[in-house]
Structure 1
Amino acid sequence: MMMQPNFIDFALSVYAQPSVEAECLQLQDRYQVSVTLLLCCAWLDFRGVGASPDSIRAHAGEILAWEQAVVWPLRQMRRQLKRESEANVAVAEIRTKIKQAELSAELEVIKRLGLVTWIRCSEQALASVCLYYQIPSDCDSFGALRARMAELKADTLTGQTN
């Protein structure tokens, strides 16, 4: 039996799936959801740890504030430069550097969330993240994300390394 992946490996593996990426980005753009927190909650559920909205607020609030102060402005700049970068090589190079900084900052958020000592609870972390961000209960319940988690769980049980 394989060991369960650490948060960084889990997040990168899950997010590498185009359907998961699209689902996460839709939630980010529609509800201002932190993709890194969403992936963290998926990881918590994958491991059977869970999290309540209060524990998310208590354990991740400072990290999410840093993400909003650092990652989000970089993302906004990168998006604003997209059209201009298509016609201007210098702007395209600047946009590439901003994207690299954004990805580095997101990785820092993942590292920080991975270091949090989450206390086991009976509440599903993905359900709690919906409550935390006040996402309507009729929204898709993370179909692509849950499907990828199920694949990873099966791989973990069978010893596969996909």
Structure 2
Amino acid sequence: MTAVDDSPLGLFSVDLYARTGVATSCLTLQDHVNADVCMILCLLWLAQHRRVLDRRDIDVLEGLTAPWNKTIVRPLRTVRRALKKSNRLLDNVATHDALKDLKKLELETEMLQLKRLYDDGKVMHWGQHSDSISAAAQRNLNTYSELLSTTFPRSDVDLLIAATLASEADQLG
């Protein structure tokens, strides 16, 4: 992810996504259970602030950006992935440059989605307080997976929670 959004959510997302295994887990959830990576990052950021959201809260939160994700982010991803496949057939500089530009644009649209989530302003006050970041992250991810009518793989959930805790520890110094 590129840092076009310097909001606390944007900065957290860039930091978390760069941690070992996080990108792979997020993309696994995106590709296999249709999870929105920006929603996952937002839910983990809220968990880091010890906020636990219920199903209704997550549904409303998703509604803030679902149209953007559906009409802008996902189509860009589809085009980028199709070009990536054809890039193997059309191995030339122009195709490579177009692929690079599409990836950058896709990441920028995801950062704009995160900015929209943060700019709502009320999001920091949603949900209930939790004494534990780990418990909040677990609940938020479980509730989101239920909303998607699926179960997130335990290994991905554990990795994302560990990375969120490590991010918090790094911030505290």
Whether these two folds match at TM > 0.5 is: yes
Residue 103 of structure 1, aligned match among 102, 107, 114: 107
User: Considering only aligned residues, what root-mean-square deviation do their CA atoms show, in Å?
Assistant: 1.9
The answer on 1:121 being equivalent to 2:128 is yes
Tell me the SS of whatever aligns to 1:18: coil
Matched residues, percent identical?
26
Residue 62 of structure 1, aligned match among 61, 64, 75: 64
The answer on 1:43 being equivalent to 2:50 is no
Which residue identity is paired with 2:57?
S
**Pairing of 1:5-20 with structure 2 (within 5 A):** 6-20=8-22
Question: How many residues matched?
Answer: 153
Q: Note the C-alpha offset of 1:120.
A: 2.8
Greater helix share, 1 or 2? 2
Whole-Å separation in 1 of the counterparts to 2:69 and 2:93: 29
Residue 71 of structure 1, aligned match among 70, 73, 79: 73
Moved more, 77-86 or 6-15: 77-86
Alignment deviations for residues 58-108 of structure 1 (CA, whole Å, 9 cap, x no partner) = 233131221111000100111111133241221212212211211110110
- The answer on whether the counterparts of 2:77 and 2:106 sit within 8 Å (CA) in structure 1 is yes
Gaps of 5+ in 2: 1-6, 130-135
Gaps of 5+ in 1: none
Whole-Å separation in 1 of the counterparts to 2:106 and 2:147: 24
User: What residue number does 2:149 align with?
Assistant: 134
User: What residue number does 2:24 align with?
Assistant: 22
Whole-Å separation in 2 of the counterparts to 1:83 and 1:133: 28
User: What residue number does 1:144 align with?
Assistant: 159
User: TM-score, length-normalised on structure 1?
Assistant: 0.85
- The answer on whether the counterparts of 1:45 and 1:126 sit within 8 Å (CA) in structure 2 is no
- The answer on whether the counterparts of 2:52 and 2:128 sit within 8 Å (CA) in structure 1 is yes
Which residue identity is paired with 1:93?
D
Whole-Å separation in 2 of the counterparts to 1:24 and 1:59: 18
